[in-house]
Structure 1
Amino acid sequence: MLNLAIVGLGRWGQNLVDSIESSQTVYFSTAVTRTPSKVSDFCVQKNISLTDDYQSVLDDNNIDAVVIATPHSLHFDQIMMAASAGKHVFCEKPFTLTADQAGTALASLSEQGLKVAIGHNRRFAPNTLALKNALRSNSLGQPIHIDGVFNANLGTSAGKWRDSRAESPAGGMTSLGIHVIDAFIHLFGKVSSVNAQSRRIAIDIDIDDSTLVRLNFENGCSGHLTTIAATNSFWQIRAFGTEGWAECTNLDKYVFHTMDKDPVLSNYSGFEYPGLLTIKSALESFATDIRGEAPFPISPEEIHHATAVLEAITISAKTGKKIEIANI
């Protein structure tokens, strides 16, 4: 079994740990957090050793890889340290906050022969897999347009690390919208340009809560991304083609509707939010890649491209201008 260290043990870090309790492939032996006293009971319960010294974990030859679930602005330095120490890296999204940082970090890992993965667990959801298969088989005809929505109430982050325009540029993009970007790349390919609008309307903390993005794809298709950071949680992806449309809602619902037939609805039990089964699949796929059995389904090139798209959106949101991804 692959021995992992979790770096950052907040709400999502604990979901990562919980997701693989029954895994026969990976396990967490160690956790790193800035304030160990906050999670000591959790670590005792999970039989995980606890430290605030990241370097000591990197120096431990028994640990195969690190799983980074810390604030976004810390990712780059933590990935670079892991690469220097010869550790494989699974990083929560966004990988870094700039394309230059992503390129440098990915190159450093590659030069050391290390594997890299990113926590886009929605790629492993059954409804996303169904939509990808529909597009791959041309069941929807020629792709035309894709819409994506990811909303949540980030007002609960008041006083926490997300309560910052540095950590949450363009509102919900770094915590929510980046998932939509990855889904778009997965389903429709590379993005060529973006035009964003982002502003604060209702949220009490000083981040934007309404972010809208128009996207053009290299294949000529169009897209639209919405992330609202001051409402209840909602995820939806809908792809349109010349023969019909298909839609993923949350992680467990799927609708497939072609021109000549009634819509077909599917529900996937056990994949309700937070989708621990999808998180488990992502971590086990990371292990499979490390063992050389199959590559992680999100390539380093896609990680780099998604980071460039995210950076372009934040620039467009500030300037009001259309941004070409090639210029990032």
Structure 2
Amino acid sequence: MDPVSIALIGCGIITRSAHQPALTALGGRVRLVATVDTDPEAARHAAEPFGARVTDIEGALADPAVEAVLIATPESCHAEQVIAAAKAGKHVMCEKPIAPTLEEADDMIAACDAAGIVFMVAHSRRFTRRYMDVAADLSSGRIGQVRLVRENERRPQGFGPGGVQTFRPGHWTGDPKQTLGIALLAGIHEADIINWFASARPVTVVARHAVTTPGNQGVPDFLSFAVRFDNGAIGTSEIGRMQPPGYPAVHQLEIYGTQGAIRARDHDCQSLVRHDAAGAHHPESLSLNLSGGQTYVRQLAAFVDAIRSGQTLAVTPQDARLALAVTLAAIESAETGRRIAVKAAS
């Protein structure tokens, strides 16, 4: 079977740390043929290991050698880029969140459906082994009916390749014109996990958010929210990515059902902690968080399988839209102090 030829649109942190290693790991099943980025050096750096060419988005979408695109740009760019790719007949894997608004998400889904192409939103935790195992347990009825799902996330300042400082001037995550903040950068993950494990329709959301980063231009970097589902289940999450330096990257999951419970958290998996005058250091945090035992390889493989064999996507565009609906309701609740109804698909 011929490899799927891919153009990378967006060559920043998540591409360098996750998508490029996945492309390498899949070897003969995929072939990177082009890279696109507003930073020519980033595009060149991504292209060189694969012998790909550097181009612009128009060039990538016009290239008959490009069969699919992997979009890893800020959420403010997603709708325009996904719709353009669909009109060009390219299959699309787009980083989460699907879009910053439900209207844009609906337009993207409609364009991809009309074009008959595969459209997958990269909710990577659907491909993280422990979450896959949890989903299997819940499907089997192991803990009965789910009543509470709690998924919390903590990360230190500068967590990630190169120690990039987010939520600060000079980086897109600190620009209120480009992002709505922690809710769409990270809370979208938690919303998707909560929806997935509750297996019910989210009805209302209450939330609070805050700006905690010195120099932050008003982009919320902390969020706490609670979701009520139509079957009475509750989902809660608390996300902060500006913990003190050296703090481990930690995801904490708890699920309580009528016949049992499930718990999982990152730092149970870490075998090494170093201590010095500056405090504790957790050198495995980054690799565990980003690779997750082949998380991004499984994700890309699922995209390829959907293209080549029509395999059903583990996370559908409608799943991604529902996670967005919950997250946007959390933002509105945090801004207004009111309980907000989750907007259903039109």
User: What's the TM-score once normalised by structure 2's chain length?
Assistant: 0.84
> Partners of 2:50 and 2:4 in 1: how far apart?
16
Match of 1:146 among 142, 145, 149: 149
Q: 1:127, 1:253 within 8 Å by CA — same for their partners in 2?
A: no
Aligned to 1:213: 225
Query: 2:11, 2:36 within 8 Å by CA — same for their partners in 1?
Result: yes
- The answer as to whether partners of 1:151 and 1:176 remain within 8 angstroms in 2 is no
SS of 1:173 mapped into structure 2: helix
d(CA) in 1 for partners of 2:176, 2:46: 30
Query: Pick from 111, 136, 140: which aligns with 2:114?
Result: 111
Is contact 1:126–1:252 with CA below 8 Å preserved after alignment? no
**Cα deviation, residue 236, structure 1:** 2.1
- Whole-angstrom CA distance in 2 between matches of 1:248 and 1:121: 17
| Aligned match of 2:240 | 228
Distance 1:294 1:271, change over 3 A: farther
2:317 to 289, 300, 316: 300
RMSD, matched Cα:
2.2
Matched, 1:121 2:128: no
2:236 maps to a residue whose letter is H
Report 1:1-328 matches (<5 A).
1-14=3-16, 15-23=18-26, 24-51=28-55, 53-153=56-156, 156-157=165-166, 158=168, 159-169=170-180, 171-189=181-199, 190-206=201-217, 207-231=219-243, 232=247, 233-250=249-266, 253=269, 272-275=288-291, 277-326=294-343
Give the drift of 1:292. 3.5
Q: CA offsets, 1:243-302, max 9 Å, x none?
A: 221123239859xxxxxxxxxxxxxxx972211611111111011111233111111221
Structure 1 unaligned spans of 5+? 255-269
CA shift in 2, pair 1:66/1:41, >3 Å? closer
More helix by share: 2
The whole-number CA distance in structure 1 between the counterparts of 2:151 and 2:268 is 16
Q: Is the 8 A contact 2:33 2:65 kept in 1?
A: no
Q: Which runs of 5+ in 2 are unaligned?
A: 159-164, 271-285
Question: Among the aligned pairs, what percent are the same residue?
Answer: 25
- Cα deviation for residue 22 of structure 1 reads 2.8
Rounded Cα–Cα distance in structure 2 between residues aligned with 1:11 and 1:252: 26
Q: 1:45 to 1:253 in 2, by over 3 A?
A: same
Number of aligned residues: 311
Shift of 1:211: 1.1
Q: Distance in 2 between matches of 1:197 and 1:117?
A: 30
Cα distance change, pair 251–118 in 1 and its aligned pair in 2 (3 A) = farther
User: Contact between 1:29 and 1:47, CA under 8 Å: does it hold in 2?
Assistant: yes
Amino acid at match of 2:11: L
Report if the CA contact (8 A) 1:271-1:278 is conserved.
Answer: no
Shift of 1:13: 1.2
Give the residue type in structure 1 aligned to 2:321: H
In 1, distance between residues paired with 2:82 and 2:153? 27
Instruction: Please state how far the C-alpha of 1:7 moved relative to its aligned partner.
Output: 0.3
